[in-house]
Every structure is written in C-alpha cells, then in structure tokens.
C-alpha cells in the first residue's frame, strides 16, 4: 500500500516564529515515523526558491513571484500562500492538507477546487472573545478543526461547535532544561551579571499586544523592595514598543534593563544593557553585525535555553495570545511563570501548570471590539514579590511541576502522536479530479419555507456552500428579510444570478485555456496588438530580438484575424490568435490573485501603464 501523502502549510519550518517552530517539530516527527510521504508549503518563501531544495522533504514556497507588485488585500492573501496553494495541491495530490496559521490566512480556501476533494484540517490560533466571525464561518465547513488553547475550544463549543478541539502547539523539550547551579553561575559571569541579582525574564516578539508598559510599571514598584532586581527583555528593540522612551518616561534606569544581542556573522550572543543597534562584534570582529535578537537573526534553541537559565522568574503579561510558546519554554527550564489570566494564559497560570495568575482589566480593541486584557501592574508586583520571598525549595518544587506539565501536554511526542491518530483516521484519496461542479442555476424557488430554512436552502442547493445559522452570510440575509429590506424572490434572484455569473466566469476561463496545449505551459509569451496593421508590422520587426530574450518560450500574438498575414509567417511566432477586448488584461494572461495565468510574460505595446499595470510579468 502506498504511503499517505501529507501536505503541511504554515510558516517556513526554519522561521523564528511560533508557527515555524511548531511546523518544524511536527514535520520531523511525522517524517521519522516513516509512515507518510511528507510535503511542506512554506509561507514567507518565494515560489521556486532554490534554498528550499536542501530540506529532507519536498518544500514549496507559497509566495508568488509577483508578490511585490501586489497591493492591499491581494498582497496579504499572497503572503499567506492563498494564491499558490491550489497549484501546489494539484501537483502534490495530497491525501491530507493541514493548514496551520491565523484563521484569516485561509479566507479564500473554501472557494478553491480542491477544498471538498481531499481530507483537510485547520489548526489555528484564536485568542479573544467574542470569537472572530471568520472563525465561526469556518466551523460548518470543517470536520477537523483544531485550536491551540482550551480557551478557544470552550468558546466555540459554547456557540454549538463540538467539532472544534484543542491541539496545542508542539514544543521540542530536548532543547530546554534547567542547568546546574554552577552552570547558571557561569552563564551569569560570562554575561557580566551578578550571581546575586534577581533576574525577571520576558521572551517575546516586540508586538503591541505584549504588555511592555504594564511590565515596566510593575517592575518599578518591585524594584523599590528588591534593589538587586533586573529585567531581561529578550526581544528586538527596533520594532513595536519604543522601549528606551518608555524607560525615560517611567524613570527606570537603563542599567536595570538587560537584553540579548546577537551577531549574525558568528552566531554568538551576549546579554547586557541596551546600547543601540548595529554594533561591532567583539568576538569575530564583524562590523555592524550585532543587533538585538529578532525573527531574522536570532539565537538557537540551545542558546535560548541559556537565556532562560539566566532568569529567576519568568513574567509574561499580554493582551491576548494563541499559545505564547515562550511560556512553555520557560516552564521547561523549571521557572515559575507569571501569566495574564486571559486567553491562552488561562491554561498556563494554574497551580498544576506551575504558574501564577496575573490579574487584568478589560478593554476593547478599537474596530473589532475584541475583549483584551490590560495586565495590572500591581498584580505583577505582588506576584514578583511572592516568588522573591519564596524559599529555594518551594521555587524548585513548583518549577519541577511546571516542567512535567509541559512534557505531558505540549511535547512533540504527545502532540505528534495525537496528530498521527488524526491523520490515520482519515481515508486515502483515490480520485483527485479537481473539476469544479457548476453552481445550480436551475434550483426552484421555495417560497413556502420559513425564513431561516429558505436562506440555508439557497446556500446549500445553489452555491453548494456549507453555512449554518451562525454564519455571517446567513445573518445578513436573514436580517434583510426580517427588516423587510428584501423579499424572498429578490434574495432568490440574487443567488441565481451569482451562480450564473460564477459559472460564466469559469466557463470563459476554461474555454480560453483550451486554446493552448499543456506542452508549453510555463513557457509562453503573449503579445497583444489589437487592430492596427501598421503596428503589427512594426512589432513583427521586433520579434526576433524578443525570441532571443525568451529562447525557451513560445510566442503568441493576439491581433485581428485580418492582420495575421503580416506576422504569421515569422518563424519565431508560435501562433496568431484572434484579439478580443477582454484580452487587455494582464490579470487574465499572467494571472494574479487566486488565478494562475496562461502566460509567464504578456506584453501590451498598445496600452499605457497608467491604464494597465502591464509591467508585472510575474515578478520576473
């Protein structure tokens, strides 16, 4: 029997992000079982990047070559791989697709041709109440829907979705452990830190949702009672919070704040006070190679373990989060962790987890109106004081319990085994026919149905879309009916017209594609020169040089059929095709967004760049 093909779509496995770390862990785990054929779809990596060829599994970059020419929502979707993933799936033909990203990273996937043809699992982070409507919209479309924290599972279950379950992000426990007292003292000495200092640590991406001002306020209160206290902020100081300005505002001495510097040349690190960026390296002599740790150039897992071992306590105040992996890493080094008791923090501040809860006040995020947590500085002070006053045996006992809790709930072995069970319960796929069924333009008008059933019937039997009474589209149409903004016939006509327009668009694209053979796919050049015979003659004189530029491509010329005689005998012209007005579209010919183009390069010498963006050429 063939091996089941698994395609895992998320941040690149070598990215210094939570998604990247989790992906690397589970890819290695699944590959080591030798049960599956593993494929990676890597967000953040350009399609065709040769550096992806060195991985133990086949890896595809999901960012299209024309990414930099895209704007707005299209650029965001392209960054999440939404425009390339369909092409990857059609090539790989996986039995199982596993998508691991923020929920908005999957927004267009249910509209793609493969969505209902293969096994699929979405494993996402949901961090705030009320639950994002987009996450709710996905629930009726998925059998396998997993979140990273029990907070999110409970919220979705309360809405009525029992198919949503918790599967935590995986942690490689081999990298994180508590070192001996002698080793910890030596680490401090190597970094110029007094062994009697009380080090409070925070490992974080410097995002505004990480509550740095609150932590500084709590630290300032605590510092009055613990003169030997230092705050270690392992983060990048050139994004997010302006930490130097905050320190000045709050009257905190910079000598009491430590941070991690990393040399991108020799890969060494040093923990010290912040003195700016682009420093010279004292170890390898690199010029301007040293900066505070960041997602592009940061410490290894083993070096990060050193950072945690410099700490006496770990404090993680935040507004919300999907899992916050540094909390579990800190617990593995047997640190007591102080965590905001909201969102995923609810799992990490319990007595059994070796954590202490930080109290918070509610505020609402502008725009989304999500509930967010503003961690109380007084609570930070209280919990720091509690740990500071503990005897060493109590600290070690709680820390040991914290480590075991992470091993039991987050280790790669535990999460990998559960993922293995999920995959093994999914059937092999034998039919990879990605043909999209036409929407139903002939569905009858059922005026006698109650309002709710009427709308669900339209979605199910015209658009073939899985929605329920919690879905955003359902709510909109029901509101229009109940508020008499539209009657049933008007709404029915809208659904039928949507089906007709969608079918026509798909048919036009399919018919146009039938003009070309698959033999030269990816090796086609289009020239669009509509009606002027003089223009065609002038273009004919340039074809030889164009062919020299595109030696491996076939050249197609779109013009009026009456102009064929002026150019079709050119040996470098592969074929002449009848011009139509809708050909004046780089998006049709080269592709953009969710559509793969028919040509790698399309030239529009009769247009102006102000009217058409006719210089994109897939970023090439």
Give the separation between CA 262 and CA 260, rounded to whole angstroms: 7
Burial tier of 436 (Cβ tally within 10 Å: 0-12, 13-18, 19+): middle
Q: Identify the segments of the chain with pLDDT beneath 50.
A: 594, 610
- Looking at residue 71, what is its pLDDT? 80
Helix residue spans in 301-432 (DSSP H)? 301-309, 325-332, 345-348, 377-388, 392-410, 412-424
Tokens of 23: 């992906």
Q: How many helices (H) and strands (E) does the chain have?
A: 20, 23
- Looking at residue 511, what is its pLDDT? 78
Are 337 and 316 within 8 A, CB to CB?
yes
Give the separation between CA 356 and CA 169, rounded to whole angstroms: 21
pLDDT tens per residue across span 516-533: 888 888 899 999 998 888
- Looking at residue 616, what is its pLDDT? 66
Contacts of 446 (CB under 8 A, 6+ apart): 454, 457
Give the separation between CA 156 and CA 249, rounded to whole angstroms: 41
**What's the farthest any 2 CA atoms get from each other in the chain?**
94
- Looking at residue 246, what is its pLDDT? 98
Please say whether the dihedral angle defined by the alpha carbons of residues 336, 382, 322 and 274, taken in this order, is positive or negative: negative
pLDDT tens per residue across span 273-328: 999 999 999 999 999 999 999 988 999 999 999 999 999 999 999 999 999 999 99
Which bin fits 619, alpha (ψ -120 to 50), beta or left (φ > 0)? left
- Looking at residue 592, what is its pLDDT? 59
Strand-pair partners of 212: none
- Looking at residue 608, what is its pLDDT? 56
Residue 551's SS3 state is coil
- Looking at residue 110, what is its pLDDT? 95
């Amino acid at each position: 029997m063939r091996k089941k093909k698994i395609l895992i779509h998320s941040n690149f496995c070598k990215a210094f992000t939570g998604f990247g770390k989790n992906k690397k862990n589970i890819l290695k785990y699944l590959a080591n079982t030798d049960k599956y054929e593993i494929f990676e779809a890597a967000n953040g990596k350009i399609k065709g990047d040769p550096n992806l060829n060195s991985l133990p599994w086949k890896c595809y970059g999901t960012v299209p070559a024309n990414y930099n020419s895209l704007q707005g929502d299209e650029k965001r979707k392209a960054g999440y791989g939404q425009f390339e993933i369909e092409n990857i799936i059609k090539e790989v033909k996986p039995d199982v697709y596993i998508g691991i990203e923020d929920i908005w990273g999957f927004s267009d996937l249910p509209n793609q041709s493969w969505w209902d043809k293969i096994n699929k699992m979405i494993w996402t982070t949901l961090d705030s109440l009320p639950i994002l409507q987009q996450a709710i919209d996905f629930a009726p479309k998925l059998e396998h829907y997993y979140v990273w924290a029990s907070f999110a599972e409970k919220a979705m279950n309360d809405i009525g979705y029992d198919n949503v379950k918790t599967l935590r992000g995986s942690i490689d426990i081999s990298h994180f452990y508590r070192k001996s007292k002698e080793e910890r003292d030596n680490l401090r000495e190597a970094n110029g830190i007094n062994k009697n200092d009380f080090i409070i640590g925070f490992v974080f991406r410097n995002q505004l949702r990480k509550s740095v001002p609150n932590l500084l306020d709590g630290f300032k209160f605590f510092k009055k009672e613990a003169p030997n206290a230092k705050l270690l902020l392992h983060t990048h100081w050139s994004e997010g919070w302006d930490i130097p300005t905050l320190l000045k505002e709050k009257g905190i001495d910079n000598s009491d704040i430590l941070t991690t510097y990393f040399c991108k040349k020799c890969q060494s690190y040093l923990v010290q006070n912040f003195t700016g960026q682009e420093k010279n390296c004292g170890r390898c002599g690199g010029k301007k190679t040293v900066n505070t740790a960041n997602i592009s150039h940061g410490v290894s897992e083993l070096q990060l373990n050193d950072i945690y071992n410099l700490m006496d306590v770990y404090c993680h105040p935040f507004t919300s989060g999907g899992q916050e992996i540094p909390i579990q890493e800190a617990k593995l080094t047997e640190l007591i962790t102080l965590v905001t008791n909201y969102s995923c923090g609810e799992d990490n501040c319990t007595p059994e987890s070796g954590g202490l809860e930080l109290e918070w006040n509610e505020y609402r995020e502008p725009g989304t109106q999500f509930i967010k947590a503003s961690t109380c500085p007084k609570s930070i002070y209280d919990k720091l004081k509690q740990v500071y006053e503990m005897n060493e045996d109590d600290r070690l006992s709680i820390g040991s319990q914290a480590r075991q809790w992470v091993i039991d709930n987050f280790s790669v072995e535990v999460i990998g085994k559960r993922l293995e069970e999920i995959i093994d319960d999914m059937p092999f796929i034998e039919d990879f026919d990605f043909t999209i069924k036409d929407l139903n333009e002939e569905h009858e008008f059922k005026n006698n149905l109650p309002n709710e059933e009427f709308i669900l019937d339209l979605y199910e039997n015209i658009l073939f879309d899985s929605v329920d009474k919690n879905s955003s589209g359902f709510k909109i149409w029901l509101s229009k009916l109940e508020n008499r903004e539209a009657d049933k016939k008007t709404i029915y006509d809208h659904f039928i017209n949507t089906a007709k327009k969608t079918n026509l668009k798909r048919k036009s694209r399919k018919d146009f594609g039938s003009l070309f053979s698959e033999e030269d796919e990816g090796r086609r050049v289009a020239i669009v020169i509509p009606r002027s015979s003089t223009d065609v003659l002038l273009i004919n004189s340039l074809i030889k040089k164009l062919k020299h530029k595109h030696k491996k491509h076939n050249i197609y010329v779109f013009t009026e059929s009456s102009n064929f005689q002026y150019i079709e005998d050119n040996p470098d012209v592969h074929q002449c095709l009848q011009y139509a007005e809708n050909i004046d579209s780089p998006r049709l010919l080269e592709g953009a967004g969710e559509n793969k183009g028919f040509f790698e390069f399309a030239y529009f010498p009769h247009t102006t760049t102000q009217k058409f963006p006719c210089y994109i050429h897939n970023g090439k």
